[in-house]
Amino acid sequence: MHTYIQSLERELSAGDTTEHTHRTALKILLESLNTDIIATNEPQHITAVGAPDFRIIKNKLAIGYVECKDIGKNLDEALETDQLKRYLHSFHNFLLTDYLEFCWYVGGKLRVKKTLGTLVKNKVKQDKDCLQDVADGLTAFLNNDPEPIGSPKELAGHMARLAHMIREIIINSLGKELVTGSLHAQWQAFRENLIPELSVEEFADMYAQTVAYGLFAARCEADNGKDFTRQQAAYLIPKTNPFLRKLFNYIAGPELDESITWAVDDLSLVLVQIF
């Protein structure tokens, strides 16, 4: 923990820091607290359209998500944004931090809130009594069991939350993408061939539902569920459903937009757990 604080202070002393500056230090800290996990730092251009800053991967399964704000950011105010409301709804195991304060949520409810100290002239005034508490809280976050999937209802709920996240990312991506981009091309193709008056929101709904149902249909056909991936799904969707097969291949095949790749992959990993 002391090494982490030193890294923050070194970066702060260099000046011109942002919420992205300290990601490497946080990644090192998290992976040192649990050597079985990988803290995947999402690229800035992907987080800009809706992805959390970190995905915590253990045994090829996404077990948690982390959203980072700049040091000193009021996290209570951040929780009032649409982005954070979506995250709390979608992610069972979620950590919000400004690199000094750490708020851990399970099932949308606050479980632990601890701080390392306060920032004073680019130095962290440590609350030494809380250092171990923060370490313990982060360790518990990293060790938390994935959301249980023991019934069709639980599976449907988990898939629906990730599908909703995909929908929101598509809407955000279309708002930022040039009209010559790949998502706009797909939206236009849908309007030309299926529904002329298709809105952005309706397109995003159709896109997310096709991905979710296509993955589920493919997973039902997989011989070895433990090795199931998004890449396999395009080949596993039954030929008896040619419309779904062609549509899924078109929107979620090799040309899948990178802004939602992480969410589609996580949805695939959810399906690994069933059967």
Domain shared by 108 and 159, yes or no = no
Q: Note the pLDDT of residue 30.
A: 97
pLDDT tens digits, 174-194: 998 888 888 899 999 989 988
Q: For residues 261 and 265, give the distance between their C-alpha atoms in angstroms, rounded to a whole number.
A: 6
At residue 51, the pLDDT reads 87
Assess whether 129 and 174 both reside in one domain: no
* Residues 101 and 188 occupy one common structural domain: no
Q: How far apart are CA 191 and CA 21, in angstroms?
A: 42
CB 125 within 8 A of CB 72: no
Residues 90, 15, single domain; the answer is yes
Q: What DSSP designation does 3 have?
A: H
130 and 11 in a single domain? The answer is yes
User: What are the CA-CA distances from residue 204 to residues 46, 125, 154, 207, 248 (Å)?
Assistant: 17, 46, 23, 5, 14
pLDDT tens profile 135-151? 999 999 999 987 778 88
- Least Cα distance to 147 among 91, 228, 66, 220 occurs for 91
Sign, Cα dihedral of 33, 263, 102, 28: positive
Q: Distance between CA atoms of 109 and 9, rounded to whole angstroms?
A: 31
What Rg do the C-alpha atoms of the chain give, in angstroms? Answer: 20
Total domain count, the chain: 2
Q: Which domain holds residue 22?
A: 2-143
Residues 110 and 176 in one domain: no
Q: What is the pLDDT of residue 257?
A: 82
More confident residue, 105 or 232: 105
Averaged pLDDT of the chain? 89
Q: Which two tokens stand for residue 130?
A: 């809380």
Give the model's pLDDT for residue 152. 87
Do both 68 and 86 map to the same domain?
yes
